[in-house]
Structure 1
Amino acid sequence: MAKNRTTHAAFGKFPLIINRQPSQGSIDLHSHAFTELVVILGGNAVHYSRADSYDIMAGDCFVVERAHGYKESNKLSLVNILFIPEQLPVPWNEARKLPGYHAFFALEPQYRKLHNFRSRLRLEPSGLAHVSELIDTIEQELHKKNAGYEIMATGLFMQLISFISRAYSRMQGTEYADLMGLSEVISHIERNFADEIRMADLAAMAAMSESRLLRAFRRATGHAPIDYLIHLRIRQACGLLRQKESTITAIAYQTGFNDSNYFTRQFRRIMGMSPRQFRKGRRLSS
């Protein structure tokens, strides 16, 4: 049974931790209730989970989503960046517009076993040095806790994930091309959710047939592309219903629905209530 080594309580008041391990030995399977970004600074080892194992070395960066451990450690030095996305004041909607963000943070973990970890991010020495410098600066801000450290740490963390996303988008190889094609589609939907989006255009963007894209997209997100788009539009509509006094019809059109009745049906299907009920509930709770 995997051990849960760190809990939410360890974060304190800010949902970001830099956990440096300059001499990481073998460690049993363990899990966390948050997101873990691992950067290998030096040495090598075998990273393993219940289902598989892979060799890792300096420059490797990867996201951990399930129980994992290390064995056959040889001078392994790494940094664990632990964070709670829903609590970190980061403009995630902007991050999602980066194709490399989807490929690295969402798709690569899903495809890791299929690709035998060949779709990992391995930074060149200059890129690893830059990432290490950003991590050092974040760590200093979190340690010193000077006035405004939360803003500084958040901004530096955004630089880190943007740099990693851009680095991933430049990786070469068949596995990377497949993930980047799918990631381009997701980012296109995120950027243009209010516009008309057709499967044929998405398939051409991903360099896949429509049937292959449908299978790959569903595997990665749990939704067909059009259903993913509808969920995204409803999520955006929820934000507008919280913030604006626009009519329900106006918000429907702003989020890509050409029929307010269809918008209401889809909103009720996903949210379990009508847009009007959602807005009224938010007003009562505020």
Structure 2
Amino acid sequence: MKPYLEKLRTDVGASWAMLNRRLEEGIPFQWHHHPEMELTMTLNSRGQRFIGDHAGSYDHGDLVLVGANLPHSWYSTDRLDPNEPHIALVLWFGQDWLEDLADSAVELRPLRDLVIRSRTGLKFSTELADELRPQYEALIDQPPEARLLGLLQVLLRLAHDDGAIALSSVHETAAGPRDRIDRVLDHIHSNYSEEVRLETLAEIAALSVSGLHRLFRKHTQSTVSDYLIRLRIADACARLSGTSQPIQHIAVEVGYGALANFNRHFRRLRGMTPREYRKHFSRRL
């Protein structure tokens, strides 16, 4: 399930965009990415979120920052108050824009570190999310000038959250090939459900296979094979929870010719079999 590229527009008279999303039928699974960073607070909703190779549960008050071009989706299972909609308060802003702000004043320098940490997705502490919620919700009704100042205040608080948790071990894909590692990651993210040969990746990077290994580990802290496995299992988790596809079909579509191999890798990364994962998720539907 390759993520589709979502094209976003900023609001008129604003440098960034936001959406007050209220859904009666629930948050649908839509695996996508975009060049903008995304900050999402989810209210009156619980279910599963998928970010890079992360697959985990979310609940009311969940606050997550997704880095630029990092594939992601939420999928709701139920809501706390059945008489109220699922709510997702989503803020989008450009990475370059935020980095320029961080470089413009020493007081904003922590925002650059936040950009770096967002590359694998960040879940902020429940305590800070609860504390920031009134300020976060107030952004919706403020004029552009006040909204910008409010956004910066929120982001600076998040930049100092020592309780924030990195969600994915997979970094963002590049919007376009810029250098060697970007070209390699772009090829992997576009072809992980097929056979990915080291020789092909080395040729894309214009390196020897040993040089590719060193480059890849330097930038991802992972081997190519482990990176591929995490991507495939993350895709499988999304399919198990969001579709009724047979498990054997899912295994083939994410790149496994042998079901036993798929089951072994899935259990190692998720601590349960694919069937147990689907059953656990279905109990919450």
**TM-score (normalizing by structure 2):** 0.45
More helix by share: 1
* Greater Cα radius of gyration, structure 1 or 2: 1
> More relative contact order in 1 or in 2 (CA 8 Å, sep 6+)?
2
